[in-house]
Structure 1
Amino acid sequence: MLIVFRADADPATGGGHVMRCLTLATEMQQRGADVLFVCAPGTADTVPALTHCGIRWLEADQHDWNTDLADGGLAGTRIDLIVIDSYRLGEAFERSLRRHGCPILVIDDAPVRPHDCDLLVDTTLGRNADDYAGLIPQHCRVIAGSPYALLRSAFGELRAVSLARRRATFEPASIYVSLGLTDVGGQTADIARYLANAGTYSRIIVVIGPTASSLDEVVALGEESTRVQVHVDPPEIAELMANADIAIGTPGTSSWERCCLGLPSIQLVVADNQRENARALEQAGAARIVPPGCDVPDTIARILAELARQPDELARMSRQAAKVCDGAGAQRVGEAIDALVQQERTGQLTLRRATADDARRLWFWRNDPGARAMSGDSRAVPWDAHSKWFNNRIADANTLIFIIQAEGRPCGNVRFHIELTGTAGVSIAMARNVRGRGYGATALVLACQEAFGRGFCERIEARVKRENLASQKIFLKAGFVLAGQEAEFLVYQLSLRAASEGNN
């Protein structure tokens, strides 16, 4: 399944459109889809993550599309879904893409303009489908509200830890400051300087993008003050937020990240489209809003002083913020996309050898929290380390990696590696969205039959954690027998002879 995303970023509009599309793209890659971005020139300069994430992207032409998708190198490639996230590209552009014969998903946050789409996603707090009445085709499904906020998985993983440290009243010591990667309005330096001079907070965490006009000034401030820690487009934003006591930000895409972690915030409106969201967050008790036209540093100082005198209020704001968003929005939108694109599911599984193009799929499946918890090593694997490992493995004659496909779409992998003469260790990982469908045992049987049929090994062995009851059932159902026990693991084996007898 190929999904094409159309989104742009620049210093004036910021990187929110591209960042939330990257989040959704990652969710769909975990679900086995191939993804491709089409972006205006300069987008990668504003959002370096577009280049670093390894997702293929093409530069948009004068028609806001790319000729490779029509009559170039990708001509004839079936597109299964087009996702558009842009205030500039509207109904006429969406209608022009109908020539590709696939559904169209639009991400928007203001029901003020018409769309020609089949699925519309609006993650604004309090939004509902009725707000788009008369603006979309009758058949279009609308999924709306903050439960669908598109957040990277790191936020959901850190949610419990972040909320736990905020349950008790406390005196705030660290403050997180970020007005977006491009610092629209250029107020980050003034705010950070004011906080540093005030001396109230021991740690001022400033996050900014590499193309922000105020970058040099912010970096210089970090060099002047030991209180100020400057992070330029850091990958660990979720960790930085989780360890802060209060935030200063904007009511844009990042507001959902703060809410997921229960991080109380003071918010500045830097774009007209943020006003409605700001009001909703304030009414929900999740944030305090800086009124337009005021002295920003002075107003922020006043609000911080009020909160310092009311430590219980910070805890209350944290609880209210956590109610807004739980971090599972991308999964919910992914389910809606599957329902739209895959109308029928037969459950038929097939097998193919892994190729270099599968590297990121295996990385996502390996780093899924559920998979890590049951792995011998529960630590997340960095992309660079995984990429090197994967390239070595697919070139290794002693390793055999199969991709499991459901209805032709990748949904898991089975890996064999010769550890002893004639014996191969086996591991299996299934995508989060297909767990519980009974695919695991069937996939394992298919892969073992293929490994034996290729003469790759004469015996297959699996080491399964004692607490991993689901995997134990899968191996037993696939014909493995318990052959030994270790301190933390149970050892299961399947021989070529037993597999052959089981098939007769």
Structure 2
Amino acid sequence: MNIFIRTDASVEIGTGHVMRCLTLAKDLKMKGARVTFICRKLTGNLLNYIEEQGFEVNSLPQPNESNFKIDSMIKHSHWLKVYWKIDMNQTKNILKKEPQIDWLIVDHYAIDKKWEREMRPLVRKIMVIDDLADRFHDCDLLLDQNIQLDKRYDKFVPKTSLKLLGPKYALLRQEFRDARKQLRFRDGNIKCILIFFGGSDSTNETIKTLEAIKLLDKKNIKVDVVVGSTNKNKEQIKLFCEDLPNTIFHCQIDYIAQLMLKADLSIGAGGSSTWERCYLGLPTLTIETANNQAEIISILDNIGVISHLGKSHDVRTEDIVEKLEYLLNNSDDLKRISNSSLCVMGDESIENVVVQYILGGNMSKLQKYTLQDMKEDNLELVLKWRNSKTIRSSMYTDHIITMTEHKEWFKKLANDDSTIVKIFLSESKPLGLVNISKIDKKNNKCYWGFYIGEQDAPLGSGTIMGILALEFIFEKLGIRKICSEILEYNNASLRYHKKLGFIEEGRFVKHLIKNDQYIDVILMAHFSEKWADGKKDLLLIGGIDHDRN
């Protein structure tokens, strides 16, 4: 697979866009894809660093105009340092040399649908990585790893675009995934502080924070200071660190996850490092260093995930000292922030979701599976499945069904508009059955039942059957609500329903007699408005596994 990435780094832009694209590029490369970068030679670029990471870079010329035309419709259009049509034509000239490009990935606040549309004839699909939701895009896939407001991108991307929204889709390097397995309990005491304001730190918050550390004068606290190679003040910062006790200077490193694990508190900006810190439960004092950080910082501060000090031009050295002194005497606050950080990321960040989608992922497995109307030819096989001990034990009625009863049931289906029965097949081999019953058109709801009948069904068949069934019910039939009733001891079915996105609504207490005992029946339901996100997760997040139910 041939993939190109259009992104930039500069003193003004920072390094975060390139760094997260490198994370994605490395994952794609590990899966066998060829990944090539397209970047402009801006002051503070990372072209050499990208090449050092093992990727080819096509460089766009260094801008030679100081008063170039900007696009008044795009807030950050000046980041390109050339008019968008010039950037578009230069990029097209690179792409035209390739016989086939499967994906073009764009991570740039200065690019919108006008630029993207021009690339359509040259690439099969387009992915956009964004944080702002402030311009229109022409893309097949959009990724925004920030905490989302409902329907934030609905008007900005085509209806056919897949949107991966929220911190669980954060692009995290392997070092963070590995570090997550080594998480330690943070007791709220500050013994080690990490200072990192991104690769370039254009507002020089690092020096301001080091001055605060000096004023704090706590010689028992260790301090790690991290800067990028593009930080224009890195030599001054290095000298400052050398004069402070227990302070270590780090430049352009690949082990920051380990420093985050070791730290009890971080002081930094609100860029892409936010999710790395949250993923490792690291409490953070933030200073806003760019306007595009404002929204996410405000949300995280309000829900207690960070402690925000303010905008860079408003935050004084004394403000940092005052907050540090407060936290040194209020360990419970730090413990709370740490727990909130972990919670906002979920139990685990979802690994390689974007990679799975780009490379086809689990969706490609669906192509050989189908649902077809049950036919008379299926009667004997279905009766065999239905009478098996495993399946009978999970049913309301568990007696051995005769062929006469079975044929009578099938005959009634022809005149029953409230029931649809489908056979689940892998290629041409029947594997199981889906029964959609009690279809209520007035209230737009139905019930369902299902089973995998073949014991040698491929791994993951149960989940695939569920996806196809819910897709048919919600998308083809237009049903609003699917109801299900599960015997209380059927734990496998309960797990299966939860995995598909069903929620528990209640139970019928001591509702049925089984093995001479009255048992509860658990009521579960799924809703059409929840299906789009649920389907996306099932397709992309390793949902297809060992389920046979």
Q: Smaller-chain TM-score range?
A: 0.5 to 0.7
**Displacement, 1:282?**
1.0
The equivalent position to 1:126 in structure 2, one of 141, 145, 148, is: 148
Does structure 1 retain, via aligned residues, the 8 Å contact 2:215–2:321? no
What does residue 158 of structure 1 align with? 179
Tell me which amino acid in the other structure corresponds to 2:195.
V
Q: Distance in 1 between matches of 2:110 and 2:362?
A: 26
The reply to whether residue 69 of structure 1 matches residue 94 of structure 2 is yes
The reply to whether residue 229 of structure 1 matches residue 248 of structure 2 is yes
Tell me which amino acid in the other structure corresponds to 2:166.
G
Q: Distance in 2 between matches of 1:275 and 1:47?
A: 29
Cα deviation code 1:211-232 (max 9, x no counterpart): 2122121011122223221101
Cα deviation code 1:14-58 (max 9, x no counterpart): 011111111111121222221111111147844754122111111
Q: Distance in 1 between matches of 2:2 and 2:157?
A: 24
Does structure 2 retain, via aligned residues, the 8 Å contact 1:251–1:267? yes
Worse overlay, 45-54 or 173-182: 45-54
Structure 1 alignment gaps of length 5 or more = 348-435, 439-504
Does structure 2 retain, via aligned residues, the 8 Å contact 1:46–1:182? no
The reply to whether residue 299 of structure 1 matches residue 319 of structure 2 is yes
Q: Distance in 2 between matches of 1:194 and 1:275?
A: 23
Does structure 2 retain, via aligned residues, the 8 Å contact 1:290–1:296? no
**Displacement, 1:9?**
0.4
The reply to whether residue 246 of structure 1 matches residue 246 of structure 2 is no
Does structure 1 retain, via aligned residues, the 8 Å contact 2:199–2:227? yes
The equivalent position to 1:145 in structure 2, one of 139, 157, 166, is: 166
What does residue 174 of structure 1 align with? 192
Question: Quick one: structure 1 residues 298 and 44, their matched pair in 2 at CA, closer, same or farther if it must change by over 3 Å?
Answer: closer
What does residue 298 of structure 2 align with? 279
**Displacement, 1:345?**
7.4
Q: Distance in 1 between matches of 2:351 and 2:128?
A: 14
Cα deviation code 1:408-466 (max 9, x no counterpart): xxxxxxxxxxxxxxxxxxxxxxxxxxxx889xxxxxxxxxxxxxxxxxxxxxxxxxxxx
**Displacement, 1:95?**
0.4
Tell me which amino acid in the other structure corresponds to 1:94.
E
Question: Quick one: structure 1 residues 318 and 334, their matched pair in 2 at CA, closer, same or farther if it must change by over 3 Å?
Answer: same
1 or 2 for the larger relative contact order (CA 8 Å, sep ≥6)?
Answer: 1
After TM superposition, the structure 1 = structure 2 runs for residues 62-141 of structure 1, keeping only pairs within 5 Å, are 62-64=86-88, 65-66=90-91, 69-72=94-97, 75-76=98-99, 78-128=100-150, 130-141=151-162
**Displacement, 1:324?**
2.0
**Displacement, 1:70?**
3.9
Question: Quick one: structure 1 residues 94 and 58, their matched pair in 2 at CA, closer, same or farther if it must change by over 3 Å?
Answer: same
TM-score by length of 2: 0.59
**Displacement, 1:313?**
1.5
**Displacement, 1:339?**
4.0
Worse overlay, 38-47 or 26-35: 38-47
What does residue 316 of structure 1 align with? 336
TM-score by length of 1: 0.64
Question: Quick one: structure 1 residues 265 and 114, their matched pair in 2 at CA, closer, same or farther if it must change by over 3 Å?
Answer: same
**Displacement, 1:195?**
0.1
Tell me which amino acid in the other structure corresponds to 1:321.
S
Q: Distance in 2 between matches of 1:140 and 1:43?
A: 34
Q: Which has the larger radius of gyration?
A: 2
**Displacement, 1:314?**
1.0
Does structure 2 retain, via aligned residues, the 8 Å contact 1:126–1:280? no
Tell me which amino acid in the other structure corresponds to 1:89.
I
Question: Quick one: structure 1 residues 48 and 182, their matched pair in 2 at CA, closer, same or farther if it must change by over 3 Å?
Answer: farther
Name the SS of the counterpart of 1:82 in structure 2: strand
What does residue 502 of structure 1 align with? none
Name the SS of the counterpart of 1:28 in structure 2: helix
Worse overlay, 263-272 or 187-196: 187-196
What does residue 263 of structure 1 align with? 282
Worse overlay, 319-328 or 112-121: 319-328
Q: Distance in 1 between matches of 2:141 and 2:57?
A: 23
Does structure 2 retain, via aligned residues, the 8 Å contact 1:196–1:228? no
Tell me which amino acid in the other structure corresponds to 2:12.
A
After TM superposition, the structure 1 = structure 2 runs for residues 360-379 of structure 1, keeping only pairs within 5 Å, are none
What does residue 384 of structure 1 align with? none
What does residue 183 of structure 1 align with? 201
After TM superposition, the structure 1 = structure 2 runs for residues 12-31 of structure 1, keeping only pairs within 5 Å, are 12-31=12-31
Name the SS of the counterpart of 2:181 in structure 1: helix
Identical aligned residues as a percent: 29
What does residue 58 of structure 2 align with? 58
Q: Distance in 1 between matches of 2:361 and 2:152?
A: 21
After TM superposition, the structure 1 = structure 2 runs for residues 486-501 of structure 1, keeping only pairs within 5 Å, are none
Tell me which amino acid in the other structure corresponds to 1:334.
V
What does residue 2 of structure 2 align with? 2
Structure 2 alignment gaps of length 5 or more = 62-85, 369-458, 462-549
**Displacement, 1:184?**
2.0
After TM superposition, the structure 1 = structure 2 runs for residues 387-406 of structure 1, keeping only pairs within 5 Å, are none
Tell me which amino acid in the other structure corresponds to 1:2.
N
Tell me which amino acid in the other structure corresponds to 1:172.
I
Does structure 1 retain, via aligned residues, the 8 Å contact 2:211–2:317? no
Q: What count of residue pairs does the alignment treat as equivalent?
A: 344
Does structure 2 retain, via aligned residues, the 8 Å contact 1:27–1:334? yes
Tell me which amino acid in the other structure corresponds to 1:304.
L
**Displacement, 1:334?**
1.9
Question: Quick one: structure 1 residues 47 and 307, their matched pair in 2 at CA, closer, same or farther if it must change by over 3 Å?
Answer: farther
Does structure 2 retain, via aligned residues, the 8 Å contact 1:192–1:204? no
What does residue 203 of structure 1 align with? 222
